[in-house]
Amino acid sequence: MAFESLSDKLQNIFKNLRGKGRLTEADVKTALKEVKLALLEADVSFKVVKQFIKAVQERAIGQDVMNGLNPGQMVIKIVNDELVNLMGSETTEIALRPASEVTVIMMAGLQGAGKTTTTAKLAGKFKSKGRKPLLVACDVYRPAAITQLQINGEKQGVEVFSMGDKQNPVNIAKAAVEHAKSHGFNVVILDTAGRLHVDEAMMEELQNIKEAVHVDQTILVVDAMTGQDAVNVADSFNQKLELDGVILTKLDGDTRGGAALSIKATCGKPILYVGMGEKLSDLEQFYPERMASRILG
């Protein structure tokens, strides 16, 4: 399970703290040093860990906490609060236009991140909210991606717009938006091509799509299993494309969890949903508080 090792370590550290009646400044500092190591081992980026520990320390070392009734518990609460802060405090919804208008969402991500699967999962969410989504196959480089989207769209009962692999993605996106307008769809989700690494050609293609159709939401799909790489990818995409949010996939695996803790703090963009499995229903809204509780056990 995700966060297993981090969770175990934090629980051990906190068991020691709880066990002590009074806490000295040294006790807190020692505990925070251990927390720091646990976070680094969970692949949270160094900068984020440093800021996090500083924030906790500033709040935890002081008369109020140390002389309180249950100082250990107070320190744990501060760690919890700061974990929630790190992940963005509040749940961010994908902003949609009113149902009478067409909202265009562009999905981006590296190959294998789970973009095509997540695109179909997301369509299911919108459908269950009473929207009429249209999935669009803009990945013309991998014919298998088009087929995969069609299969998933069918499973979700959502129409897939495709022009095969001979057209360029900008034209497909434009035609799809026109199709949506004339056929009563109100959420267009563009499944774009991914590559193995962040590269100029991919970014340019995404920028061209963004310019050609009015994209309302640009969402990046990243694989939680890739740890700090996921954070770097989010940072690069955000710089080129100005993301609205991130979806973190494969959190059902045994990822150490660093990406979930670092993305918001590093690139400033919220995690919107998390992928919790391969099934099309395995997409959960991201709640920073629940995630912090899961980590702290």
Note the residues at the interface with ligand GDP (CB under 6 A): 109, 111-117, 194, 249-250, 252-253, 275-278, 282
| Contact of 274 with 248, CB cutoff 8 Å | yes
- Determine whether the annotation assigns residue 109 to a binding site: yes
Quick one: 66 or 276, whose CB is closer to ligand GDP?
276
| Contact of 196 with 111, CB cutoff 8 Å | yes
3-state secondary structure of 160: strand
In angstroms, what is the minimal distance from the CB of 257 to ligand GDP?
Answer: 14
Quick one: 45 or 152, whose CB is closer to ligand GDP?
152
- Determine whether the annotation assigns residue 193 to a binding site: yes
In angstroms, what is the minimal distance from the CB of 252 to ligand GDP?
Answer: 5
123: nearest Cα among 97, 105, 101? 105
Q: Is 242 left (phi over 0), alpha (psi -120 to 50) or beta?
A: left
Q: What distances in angstroms separate CA 10 from CA 16, 17, 289, one per listed residue?
A: 10, 11, 16
| β-strand partners of 159 | 134
In angstroms, what is the minimal distance from the CB of 114 to ligand GDP?
Answer: 3
In angstroms, what is the minimal distance from the CB of 213 to ligand GDP?
Answer: 20
Q: How many CA atoms lie within 13 A of 103 on its CB side?
A: 18
- Determine whether the annotation assigns residue 54 to a binding site: no
| Contact of 252 with 277, CB cutoff 8 Å | yes
Instruction: Give the burial string for 238-263 (b: 16+ CB within 10 Å, else e).
Output: bebbebbbbbbbbbbeebbbbbbbbb
- Determine whether the annotation assigns residue 113 to a binding site: yes
In angstroms, what is the minimal distance from the CB of 107 to ligand GDP?
Answer: 9
Phi, psi of 198, deg, nearest 5: -60, 125
| 212: enclosing H helix or E strand | helix 200-212
Closest residue to ligand GDP, based on beta-carbon distance: 275
- Determine whether the annotation assigns residue 51 to a binding site: no
Quick one: 105 or 113, whose CB is closer to ligand GDP?
113
Quick one: 81 or 252, whose CB is closer to ligand GDP?
252
Quick one: 102 or 158, whose CB is closer to ligand GDP?
158
Quick one: 72 or 258, whose CB is closer to ligand GDP?
258
In angstroms, what is the minimal distance from the CB of 151 to ligand GDP?
Answer: 11
Q: What distances in angstroms separate CA 80 from CA 20, 106, 152, 171, 268, one per listed residue?
A: 19, 34, 38, 48, 20
- Determine whether the annotation assigns residue 117 to a binding site: no
- Determine whether the annotation assigns residue 165 to a binding site: no
- Determine whether the annotation assigns residue 251 to a binding site: yes
Q: Could you list the residues known to form a binding site for GTP, using ranges.
A: 109-116, 191-195, 249-252
Q: Could you list the residues known to form a binding site, using ranges.
A: 109-116, 191-195, 249-252
